[in-house]
Structure 1
Amino acid sequence: DLRMNDIMKRLTIVSTIFIPLTFLVGVWGMNFKIMPELEWEYGYFFAWGLMITLGIIVASYFKKKRY
């Protein structure tokens, strides 16, 4: 039971990290015609930077809480 709880806790952390990233990818993956990031030269790099930063923030939050 303790091992299964540890595995479930790790899976919860991984899914919590990837849920906001999946949302952002889903929004940017839609074929909207009017999106500021599409016309901006660094929009692609901004999207990657935002997703990486968000993932690091969520992971560091869990590490700080010792979860």
Structure 2
Amino acid sequence: MFVRRAVWPLQEATNSLSRSECPFLHEPTKVFFRDVYDHVVQIVDMIETMREMVSASLEIYLSSVSFRLNAVMRVLTVITTIFMLLSFIASIYGMNFEHMPELKWEWGYPVALGAMGMVATAMLIGFRRRKWL
């Protein structure tokens, strides 16, 4: 950016010096100013090309960062969904009701844990089949 700001005025100055009818400049000197003007135009073009390349590189980098962030967010969403359902099941069994027959069963706790494990496993399998994981 700084080089562009420094070179851009040179383009106008060398152009006006090479085409002016100034009595202090001889005709052979004007030829050299035309050559300098051509070099300055090439430099300005190269600066613009490099600026566009840097801009494109920055866009590619930001796209890759965004892609990685989306992948992380997808995994976190799946984990949250699984634990949300498990929390729902646990909250039902955490209520203080007297008339819940499963609470008095000998195998009630292992059955509830097994059901939670089966639900989590089924959700993981479903997410993998849909290629969300």
TM-score band, normalised by shorter chain: over 0.9
TM-score (norm 1): 0.94
* Matching residue's letter, 2:97: F
- Equivalent position of 2:97 in the other structure: 32
Runs of 4+ deviating beyond 6 Å = none
Aligned mates of 2:68, 2:128 — CA distance in 1 = 19
Unaligned runs of 5+ in 2: 1-65
1:5 paired residue number = 70
**Aligned-residue offset at 1:44:** 0.5
5+ residue gaps, structure 1, are: none
Q: Does 1:43 align with 2:108?
A: yes
Deviation of 1:38 (Å): 1.0
What is the one-letter code of the residue matched to 1:65? R
Inter-partner Cα distance in structure 1 for 2:113 and 2:70: 33
1:7 aligned partner, one-letter code: V
Q: Give the distance between the partners of 2:130 and 2:117, measured in 1 at CA.
A: 20
Using structure 2 for the length normalisation, give the TM-score: 0.49
Larger Rg: 2
Could you tell me how far 1:25 is from its partner in structure 2?
0.5
1:22 partnered with 2:117: no
1:1-47 Cα offsets, whole Å, 9 max, x none, are 11110111010110111111000101101111110111111101110
Paired residues in the alignment total: 67
Aligned 1:49-64 pairs, distance under 5 A: 49-64=114-129
If asked which structure has higher relative contact order (CA below 8 Å, sep 6+), I would say 1
In 2, Cα distance between equivalents of 1:8 and 1:45: 33
